[in-house]
Copies of this chain bind each other. A is one copy, B any other.
Amino acid sequence: MNAHQSLYSILFLLSLSLSHQSVLRLPSDHRKSLGPARGRGEDDSLYCDSWRFSVETNDAGKWSTVPSRCADYVRDYVTGERYVSDSSVAADNALEFARAVGASSDGRDAWVFDIDETLLSNLPYYEEHGFGSEAFEETSFDDWVELAKAPALPASLPLYNELRQLNFTIFLLTGRSEHQRNATATNMLRAGYTGWEKLFLRGDSDQGKPATVYKSEKRSEIVSAGYTIQGSSGDQWSDLTGFATAVRSFKLPNPMYYIP
């Protein structure tokens, strides 16, 4: 065994040990004295994993910004492979259900998609704004929306296209405002999405309503128009709960922000 192989073996054994323990234990006094490395120790990693659990299950309820001790954790999560992997498994779950339930040939089986952090990813914006660790700035976000250059969330574009192939009628239901219709439609097309039936945005009478209420009302309109909402995909529980809910709902990950 040469030196390279020997190092490789050590690293392999460490990886096994670490996949068991997640992160090496460090005495907390030692960790606290490390200055810039603060917030990357075991306690924070464990806590932030649990914080993310509570956010994704909706146990946390209303929250405003990512806890400061989890800022690095959330950055690493959304820019790393776990966000991609979690989104992909959610998309796989959705597609498996869609194939099992099927869509009738009359086009009356619907799928409702949220847009931000569901079909489009605003990571390029949040990268410049602390990945949810800074307070939300409406002005700069609206400027970003007008640029219409958000990329597709990687797992969602193939799901969207598969659902269309399966003959589901696609509805887009976003908390964005009516005055952002052009930028939103332009961005969707640029990102590769085509063929939706209708794009719902907040009109004047929808302003100020909780997203759960606004989105439930719009889903009711879809149902009243004769559709069966088989599936719904969104990164917020307010995309999925309330009334006129889908037969199955698919929660996408989003540890960056919360919309009531």
Contacts and interface: CB of A to CB of B under 8 A. Distances in A.
A20 B90 contact: no
A85 B12 CA distance: 27
Interface in A68-82: 76, 80-82
Interface residues of A, number: 48
B85 A250 contact: no
A74 to B, nearest CB: 13
A21 to B, nearest CB: 7
From A14, A50, A97, residue with most partner B Cβ within 10 Å: A50
B11 A61 contact: no
A89 B59 contact: yes
Taken together, the copies of this chain in the complex come to 2
Contact of A53 (B42, B46, B56, B94): B56
A45 interface: yes
Given A45-B19, A85-B46, A59 B24 contact: no
Nearest to A34: B12
Contacts of A140: none
B61 A40 contact: no
Contact of A89 (B16, B50, B81): B50
Contacts of A20: 40, 76, 80
Given A19-B23, A40-B19, A80-B21, A93 B60 contact: yes
B53 A86 contact: yes
Contacts of A189: none
25 contacts: A14-B24, A15-B23, A18-B24, A19-B40, A19-B76, A20-B40, A22-B22, A22-B82, A46-B81, A46-B82, A46-B85, A49-B82, A49-B85, A50-B89, A53-B56, A53-B89, A54-B86, A54-B89, A56-B56, A57-B90, A58-B251, A59-B89, A59-B94, A59-B251, A60-B93
Interface of A: 11-12, 14-16, 18-24, 26, 37, 40-42, 45-47, 49-51, 53-54, 56-61, 76, 80-82, 85-86, 88-90, 93-94, 97, 248-251, 253
